[in-house]
Amino acid sequence: MKRLALTRFRLLAAASAAGLAWRAYLQRLAKLRRAKAWYERLAESIAEGLVVVDAAGRITFFNQGAEHITGWRRGEALGRGIRDVLNLSESDQDRLSDFLAAPNARRRLRFKTRGGRPVSLAVTGARLVPPDGGPPQTALVLRDVSDEEEGHHLHSYFLANITHEFRTPLAGLNASIELLMDEGAYLSPDEMDELIASIHLSASGLQALVDNLLESVTIEAGHFAIHRRPVAINAVLAEAIRLMQPLLDRRRQTLALTEPLSVPQVAADPTRLTQVLINLLSNASKYSPQAETIDLALALDADRLRVAVADRGPGIPPAERQALFQRFVRVGARDDDRMGIGLGLSVVKAIIEGHHGEVGVEENPGGGSVFWFTLPLTGEAA
């Protein structure tokens, strides 16, 4: 009986130990599953694309970031070759092959999304050895750097064009001043007037360029401010036309002004409003043929004043109008007379919106474009 009781005790103890071991195993298994789920959620939450490929180049993991960058859904991408998903050029296909063979350096690749949009990728990678000892796989981290590359392109564009923009008026100033120094005593009054007008034109061009640069920097830094007060629009128009007259005379252009008999005051910052008009009139002069007329029209619309500047230039395709008021955007031919850095219209937009107005562009029925903006007619000074 004692031996039977001891045997029974041992069996119960063994069963209890087995039960404890089984529960411990289940707990460890549940913990591993939670850890696996946590790491999967972590991989999914990464904004960059995370793609894992096997030794044959087939995709075994594809996170949401990769879906967003490539345009492929996970279910469509899994099991496909990485080269099928990344629509690369032939040269970039070779670079990707080299990278998969030795993923130890960052590479830049260009590919097209499933929708056909070109994207620049910065790709980094790492070799992974599965825990079951299977063949190594490669994890690729894809980062869309298209905006970064566009920024570099705009920076280069800006530097190239700002050099031209400064060189032209400075060369004019230098030539005119040298002529004054060397031949001033022998110049006729008409020649002297022409020389002074040339100096004034070059100085005005430099002033407008510097103003736009400073305003653009202020806007980007978030320090842009408008100080509105009741202003007589005719006084602002007169100042802008006075500053623009040398450029109009040089191109033998005339300015036709149309306005109501009586215009109420506007709530505006006169200095910045003058800058708006100078930018619009300068563009109209540059893009209109010589000896043409530029129309400046004022109209009342309820509690707003609408100001429109119409040129006789080549016009702007509808698809390109929306982007015109962004920085560094220019359209049309880029000859010497029409060079620019693409800041003027972005400054115009910022100033007008700071006045609680609107700005836009439309087709001129007579050919060319009409740039317009609106301003409140009444309001307290800010």
DSSP per-residue codes, 290-359 = TT-EEEEEEEEETTEEEEEEE--SS---HHHHGGGGSTT---S---GGG---S-HHHHHHHHHHHTT--E
Most trustworthy range by pLDDT among 37-46, 105-114, 318-327: 105-114
Q: Which residue has the higher pLDDT, 334 or 286?
A: 286
Average pLDDT on 245-256 reads 89
The more confident residue out of 77 and 28 is 77
Alpha-carbon distances of 315 from 4, 108, 281, 284, 358, rounded to whole Å: 107, 38, 15, 11, 21
CATH of the domain spanning 35-144: 3.30.450.20
- Please tell me whether the overall predicted TM-score, pTM, comes out greater than 0.85 for this model: no
Residue 223 has pLDDT above 50, yes or no: yes
Say if CB 226 and CB 272 are below 8 A apart.
Answer: yes
- Nearest Cα neighbor of 52 from 128, 148, 161 is 128
Class of domain 150-376: alpha beta
Q: Where are the domains of the chain?
A: 35-144, 150-376
Give per-residue pLDDT as tens, 340-362: 546 778 888 888 998 889 999 99
pLDDT in tens, 297-311: 999 988 889 999 999
